[in-house]
A and B are shown apart, each in its own frame.
Chain A
Amino acid sequence: MPPDAPSPHPLLAALEAWDLHAFSRPPEAADELLVWVVPARIADVCRYLRDEQGFERLSGLTSIDRYPLEPRFEAVYLLHSISRNIRLKLKVALPGADPALPSVTSVWEGANWYEREAFDLFGIRFGGHPNLKRILLPEEWQGHPLRRDFPVHGHKYTYQND
């Protein structure tokens, strides 16, 4: 008798049953709960997860820059359900040229600053955000420092003798 295949997490099964087209890769069980979402559907998926699956809070939102690979950016949503005590990670692959996503501020109010931060430091635009402007850096700042092609010392100094 062949060994049983690991049964998928009930949450992943529920997501698959809900709408498979919202996911860029089919949800599969791994060490942690991770789901890849189609960029345009992120707000729908988040609303479904909050209303139907009990994810009351967005723990954090950030991005990873895979420069020089393409698709360059991965937007990462760290979701948490206190009532079910599980954490879920959503990921969205974004191109290097003009990365843009729908905002999830309508789902969780708290996404506001995290999206502003990702806009400020990575240059990812969030469509439908109520106040998308720089949050940590001054308004007149040039560039997005957390991109991998932005030098640690900034563009102003070269430090040739270091």
Chain B
Amino acid sequence: MSDPEISTAAVQAEHEAPPPATRRMVLNMGPQHPSTHGVLRIILELDGEIVRQAEPEIGFLHTGIEKQAEALTWQQVVTITDRIDYLSNLGNNLAYVLPVEQLLQIEIPPQAQWMRVLLTELSRINSHVVWLGTHALDLGAMTVYFYCFREREDILRIFELFSGQRMMTSYIRIGGLALEPPRGWQQAVRKFNDALPSKIDEYEDLLTANPIFMRRVQGVGHVPLDRLLALGVTGPMIRAAGLKWDIRKAEPYSGYEKFDFDVPVYQESDVWTRYRVRLEEMRQSQRIVRQALEGMPGGPWKADAPHVVLPDREKMKTQMEALIYHFKIVTEGFRVPAGEAYVPTESPRGEIGFFVVSDGTAKPLRVFMRTPSFGNLQALPALFEGHLVADSVAALGSMDFVLGDVDR
């Protein structure tokens, strides 16, 4: 039999303790939660339905890519840049090759530059449709997901046509492109690009002005602009907070200054405006792709730099010199003059740039990957704290991060 006095005290203590609603509860979200888009763990401290503290824990996808880069030759590193942000592979390739080309001081012919812009914009559309589909799915709109993946499939087919690969394309290389653009690529891109605006209208029909969707996103996840800047956030989240800053306009690279496009800006800095910014960006990317298609210059698609770029097969069979260059590049790579370079570029998620350091050898001394998702994810507590748990999923989706990009 239990001691009556102790049990009375226990009961009394139970009554004197604060009611459950004011007690904090610690909830573990992830790393396998479906709406964390990968393997992100968030430790939530809840006060009823309100998130009081959120602590993201990252590193589950860390594969030491920056370390691996030091063991590969300069050209081989292109293949691992595909794997950091796996939704914008071509954008990563471009961000990596630009500083290396700056160190090598090689001139990229116009056709290669325009092709790079075209492909980077296609991967921006690809990334945004995947974001839209999964974001809408998190908020309960399933149809959008299927529509979006329909377009993604078309884009991946185009990438396959160009490079033979759907995702890990490695198509943009130091000195130009990996392969000559395939026959008939214009028709494939044009067919997709001409149909895209009506597809975006379809998404908007389902979501914009949909009262259920609007209720879930308007006014949710608000963070003021100065806080976002201090936290190191870049990309669409900044533009949704009222700052017109796009690296393609501010610090043009790869010939972006020759294209005519607008930078969408909204003021409210909530999930809704981030959605509007990304949708508008897809339309602008479509415009850029159209301009690139119509104005594609002719000429070579790789630089005139025999010590860096592999020679044509035909030349290798007839010219001794080409054969020697081929042998040298394949066996030992090429040397990059000592120095360091950083070229910021605009990825679908924000500023991506590779800070490359060379000591004059055929392998990089250091490749620092300034990835947008890593910087953006730091803002997660600012988006979560003080808001409802149910809104956290909407806020999380609006950040649009890729865990491979965070953990590298």
Binding site for B on A (CB under 8 A): 56-60, 62, 64-65, 76, 78, 80, 82, 85, 87, 89, 108-114, 121, 134-138, 145-146, 148, 150, 152
Contacts and interface: CB of A to CB of B under 8 A. Distances in A.
Contacts of B377: 113
Contacts of B408: 136
13 contacts: A58-B232, A60-B375, A62-B370, A64-B357, A64-B366, A87-B344, A110-B232, A113-B374, A134-B59, A136-B58, A150-B67, A152-B68, A152-B70
A148 B230 CA distance: 32
Given A59-B353, A136-B59, A136-B407, A65 B232 contact: no
Contact of A82 (B64, B227, B243): B243
Interface in B364-405: 365-366, 368, 370, 374-375, 377-378
Interface string B225-236: 011011111000
Overall SS of chain B's interface: mixed
Given A64-B366, A135-B59, A152-B71, A82 B250 contact: yes
Contact of B230 (A82, A108, A114): A108
A124 B107 CA distance: 38
Interface in B241-269: 243, 245, 250-251
The residue in B230, B245, B351, B357 that gathers the most chain A C-beta atoms within 10 A of its C-beta is B230
A152 B71 CA distance: 7
B251 A85 contact: yes
Contacts of B229: 56-57, 82
Contacts of A85: 250-251
A87 B357 CA distance: 17
Given A110-B231, A152-B70, A60 B250 contact: no
Given A57-B229, A78-B342, A113-B378, A135 B58 contact: yes
A25 B395 CA distance: 45
Interface of B: 58-59, 62, 64, 66-68, 70-71, 226-227, 229-233, 243, 245, 250-251, 340, 342, 344, 351, 353, 355, 357, 365-366, 368, 370, 374-375, 377-378, 407-408
A109 B233 CA distance: 11
Contacts of B355: 60, 62, 76, 78
Given A57-B232, A136-B407, 15 more contacts: A57-B229, A60-B368, A62-B366, A62-B368, A62-B370, A78-B355, A82-B229, A108-B232, A109-B232, A110-B375, A113-B375, A113-B377, A137-B59, A138-B59, A145-B67
A109 B243 CA distance: 19
Contacts of A58: 232
Contacts of B368: 60, 62, 76
The residue in A62, A110, A114, A152 that gathers the most chain B C-beta atoms within 10 A of its C-beta is A110
Contacts of B378: 109-110, 112-113
A60 B64 contact: no
The residue in A78, A82, A109, A136 that gathers the most chain B C-beta atoms within 10 A of its C-beta is A136
